[in-house]
Amino acid sequence: MLLGLAAGGEGWSLAWLKEAQLIQAIRAPRSLGAWTAGALLGLSGAIAQGLFRNPLADPYLLGSAAGAGLGVVLVFFSASAIGASSIIGDANWLVQLGLTGAAFVGALVGVSLTLLLAGGAGRPLILLLGGVVVGVLMAAISDLLMLLAPEALRGKQSFLLGTTGLLGWRNVWMLALTLFIALPLAVRFARVLDALVLGEASAGSLGLNLPLLRLVLVSLMALCTGAAVAQAGLIAFVGLVAPHLIRRLVTVTHGPLLVLSALAGGVLLLAADIAARSLIAPQELPVGVLTAVVGGFYLMFLLRKRANSLRV
């Protein structure tokens, strides 16, 4: 966090007193927003991996991130159709709540389509393939909508590439409120994820109402993903990497895993944001592009490692 407060467009500076106004207005909300968005993505990824019993599951690969992005694009498109000014970075509470709500609905639709296409969560490979198909389809619909409203294209591109540069204090409060609601609820249902490790039949024999509990967990995953996408755009692979890093360090049940994954996701995204600000300063890299590149190589490593283990 201290590095986030020190990193600016013109390099690094620890002159806190001279730059107090700059820190309060720009760097502090940006750094806190990046951490909170990363925490939501880390929590969402841990829920997805436990719920679908697949270590490669994450919001980006299950269609929920693409669905959330489509929900945000629909809001942009509607605003453009009625001649409203750009709503990206708007400080109005209703606007931010509307973006988060649209992203939540889009994420829920994306995951639902993926589950429908895969015929449930019982076949992990088909589930991931279904997520890829749904993600591509929803991304194509987003691009089509933006072609119909070219004046909104520039804003959509800069936003959905993943950026923390537009985060203000209202965005931070919206993200923090979502995390405050979602994390305790996720921990409350962590025993369901522990039971699912034994298989659906064993979990059902424990008297769990799996359809209802799965709907609750999918809704929590969609809420976390939708809030993060609505405020910071599409940021890939944080939800995939964070739970993996925790599992490499400690062996815990899903309750502590959810909390630690949220913490790790926050650290990962904030570190990526600092790197995005600093690598080619005074220009910035979109943080979503940076996490996609790093996360893509990490996913290739995981797939290669898993293929080698299957050969053995």
Q: What is the pLDDT of residues 73-121, one digit of tens each?
A: 888 777 776 665 555 544 455 566 777 788 888 888 888 898 888 887 6
**Mean pLDDT within 155-171:** 76
Q: Which of 9-18, 27-36, 72-81 has the lowest mean pLDDT?
A: 9-18
Using the predicted structure, report yes or no on whether residue 148 has a pLDDT greater than 90.
no
Tell me what pLDDT residue 61 has. Answer: 78
Domains and CATH numbers, the chain: 33-305 (1.10.3470.10)
pLDDT category, 188, cuts 50, 70, 90?
A: very high
Using the predicted structure, report yes or no on whether residue 283 has a pLDDT greater than 80.
no
Q: Phi and psi (nearest 5°) for 15? A: -80, 75
**Mean pLDDT within 165-182:** 89
The residue that leads in pLDDT, 197 or 250, is 250
Using the predicted structure, report yes or no on whether residue 241 has a pLDDT greater than 60.
yes
The residue that leads in pLDDT, 13 or 74, is 74
* Cα(23)–Cα(226) distance, integer angstroms: 27
Q: Phi and psi (nearest 5°) for 181? A: -80, -45
Tell me what pLDDT residue 293 has. Answer: 85
Residue 128 near residue 52, CB atoms below 8 Å: no
Rounded-to-10 torsion of CA 178, 183, 188, 192: 100
Q: Could you give the percent of the chain with pLDDT greater than 70?
A: 83
Q: What is the DSSP string of 224-289?
A: HHHHHHHHH----SHHHHHHHHHHHH----HHHHHHHHHHHHHHHHHHHHHHHHHTTTTS---HHH
The DSSP call for residue 23 is I
The residue that leads in pLDDT, 279 or 191, is 191
3-state secondary structure 87-151: CCCCCCHHHHHHHHHHHHHHHHHHHHHHHHHHCCCCCHHHHHHHHHHHHHHHHHHHHHHHHHCHH
Q: Which of 8-22, 29-43, 225-239, 277-291 has the lowest mean pLDDT?
A: 8-22
**Mean pLDDT within 253-258:** 93
